[in-house]
Amino acid sequence: MQGIYTAIVTAFKEDGSVDEAGTRAVIRHSTDHCRADGIFVGGTMGERFKMTTKEVKDLLRIAADEASGKADLAANITALADEEILELAEEAHRLGYTAAALVPPVFHGYSQEEIVNHYLYIADHIPLPLLVYVIPSFSKVDFTEEMLVRLLEHPNIIGLKYTHNDYYLLDRVRVRCPEASIFTGFDDVLLHALLMGTDGAIGGTFNLTGAFAKKLYEAVKAGDYALALRYQRKINDVEDMLNETGLFPTIKAALACMEVPCGQLKRPSGPVTEAQIEQGKRICEYLKRNGG
């Protein structure tokens, strides 16, 4: 696995069910316009943690069909119960996904040993390769270097989705595990992460800035770091605008402005506001002016 993966938003209908037509439009925008190397389905940006297992399985099916022959596919298989994790992994494998990602178990406050054993158990029992989803801001789990290295020694744990700002830890793991597939989950430091040896990125803002990210990635591969920096700054300009009015709803507002209908956020999140709609229009104009 390598390259730029869009962590797609999920389109929802007014009743909160998955909007298949809208979700297909989101995927087409990433594959056809942004030239994404891969699609990450059911992630944080996709609001997976508001969805039932059945809804996630429907989403996996829609994405597999729409992205077929265009992009690689990876699935977030996180759930509270092991049985549901295994069920999602089996479905992703049946549909042709390349890999799965898994957030550490949360809520009950597990020990480091329990967390490691959880990943090892899942890796032993699923039919596709696993990425450890490192996201301490949401999971409240702080992986140590030794935990990550131990996990990456398992033959079915192939890498990390690293949504964390500790790049010293990332460097130490990369040095000790040179064969691991490591993806940054922070779009605003994509250039920095690539220079530190990551294999690409799995990012939510790539729903909008994916074309910039792909050009940045290609510039790094070509050794044109000045060009890569220019694209990083374009990505960060958009991130600034998103953060002013709220990341998740403003991404949806901007996509709607680009004629990519993806509806509202799923409850309990509130509706997209007028301020977010107007900001979405400004982001659209920025992307048009800058070739995004």
Q: Which residues are annotated as a binding site for pyruvate?
A: 202
3-222 is classed in which CATH architecture?
Alpha-Beta Barrel (3.20)
Per-residue pLDDT, 63: 98
The stretch 111-125 carries a mean pLDDT of 98
The region that residue 291 occupies, defined by phi over 0 for left and psi between -120 and 50 for alpha, beta otherwise, is left
Concerning whether 119 is annotated as a catalytic residue, the answer is no
Give dist(CA 76, CA 10) in Å, integer: 13
Looking at 133, 162, 217, 231, which residue is catalytic?
133
Sorted by where each begins, the domain ranges of the chain are: 3-222
Give dist(CA 78, CA 89) in Å, integer: 9
* Two structure tokens written together for 60: 């996996």
* Two structure tokens written together for 284: 């659209």
Question: At 94, which helix (H) or strand (E)?
Answer: helix 82-94
34-77 residue pLDDT tens = 999 999 999 999 999 999 999 999 999 999 999 999 999 999 99
pTM metric for this prediction? 0.96
Concerning whether 167 is annotated as a catalytic residue, the answer is no
- pLDDT band of 292, cuts 50, 70, 90: confident
Looking at 57, 161, 214, 266, which residue is catalytic?
161
The region that residue 160 occupies, defined by phi over 0 for left and psi between -120 and 50 for alpha, beta otherwise, is beta
The stretch 229-241 carries a mean pLDDT of 99
pLDDT over 90 (residue 172): yes
Where does the chain show beta strands of DSSP type E? 3-7, 38-41, 72-76, 99-102, 130-134, 157-162, 181-184, 200-203
